[in-house]
Amino acid sequence: MMGEWRQQQQQQIINQNLQNPEEDDGVGNGNGGLFVKVMTDEQMEQLRQQIAVYTTICDQLVDLHKQLSAQQDLTGMRLGNFYCDPFMASGGHKITSRQRWTPSPVQLQILEQIFEEGNGTPCKQKIKELTMELTQHGQISETNVYNWFQNRRARSKRKQSMTAQNNAESEAEPEVESPRDEKTKPEDILSFDNSALRAENMYLQSPELGFGNFDW
């Protein structure tokens, strides 16, 4: 049952944290791109483990939640959206003043995934479909989706050209500006499979979870 949570798991988690403090020395100020960090295999492994721990935790929580909600899901509370419901105000105030759409974590995750899939500009039809799906996770309109993609793309682009722009004083421009989709990033040493993130909405719908795949 839900009480099956292993405390030991916690212990284990905690034990994994014995990192190395130190490191920020010369790079204290955050100007992007010019500096690089160096990680040893060991550090990478540690990092990987920490993330794996999160994966596990999420997994278990999700499981727990499913059990719970299964045995009692008849109350007035909707479990689906635990993100901000635009109509429920806190402290009783401006119920309707939210003018700007704010993606819920789930929505964002989905959008991000679609975006990542490369198919740059989703056509009208797709947007419509997507909106349909996203609606299940909160208020959203097609315009929101459209704007989101527009912005996402524009910013992604800008950011990229900015990153590769740092030391380009000597050389004209390497290959910074490529006609390909921004789907391609310079080099992503650490690439997490966000399918695991999908898990967040899994507790709601998709029973299948992709927690095991952290193949980076």
Q: How many CA atoms lie within 13 A of 173 on its CB side?
A: 10
User: Please, what is the minimum distance in Å from the beta carbon of residue 130 to a second copy?
Assistant: 14
Output 136 or 156, the one with its CB closest to a second copy: 156
Query: Residues in the site for DNA, rule: CB under 7 A?
Result: 2-5, 7-13, 15-16, 30, 94, 96-103, 120-121, 123-124, 143-144, 147-155, 157-158, 181-183, 185-188, 191
Q: Residue 119 touches which of DNA, a second copy, none (CB < 5 to 8 A by kind)?
A: none
Site string for a second copy, 22-61 (x = CB under 8 A): xxxxxxxxxxxxxxxxxxxxxxxxxxx-xx-xxxxxx-xx
Binding of residue 151 to a second copy (CB under 8 A):
no
How far apart, in Å, are the Cα atoms of 125 and each of 108, 132, 163?
Answer: 19, 11, 34
Binding of residue 140 to a second copy (CB under 8 A):
yes
Output 61 or 157, the one with its CB closest to DNA: 157
Residue with tokens 């988690």: 13
Distance of CA 61 to the CA centre of its chain: 18
Binding of residue 108 to a second copy (CB under 8 A):
yes
HEC string of 57-98? HHHHHHHHHHHHHHHCCCCCCCCCCCCCCCCCCCCCCCCCCC
* Residues contacting a second copy: total by CB under 8 A: 133
Over the Cα atoms of the chain, what is R_g? 21
Output 76 or 149, the one with its CB closest to DNA: 149
How big is the CA angle at 181 (ends 180 and 187), to the nearest 5 degrees? 90
Cα–Cα dist 206/133, whole Å: 13
Output 64 or 101, the one with its CB closest to DNA: 101
Q: Residue 71 touches which of DNA, a second copy, none (CB < 5 to 8 A by kind)?
A: a second copy
Binding of residue 183 to a second copy (CB under 8 A):
yes
Binding of residue 63 to a second copy (CB under 8 A):
yes
Output 69 or 213, the one with its CB closest to DNA: 213
Helix (H) or strand (E) holding 53: helix 41-71
Output 149 or 203, the one with its CB closest to DNA: 149
Burial of 134 (0-12, 13-18, 19+ CB in 10 A): buried
Binding of residue 185 to a second copy (CB under 8 A):
yes
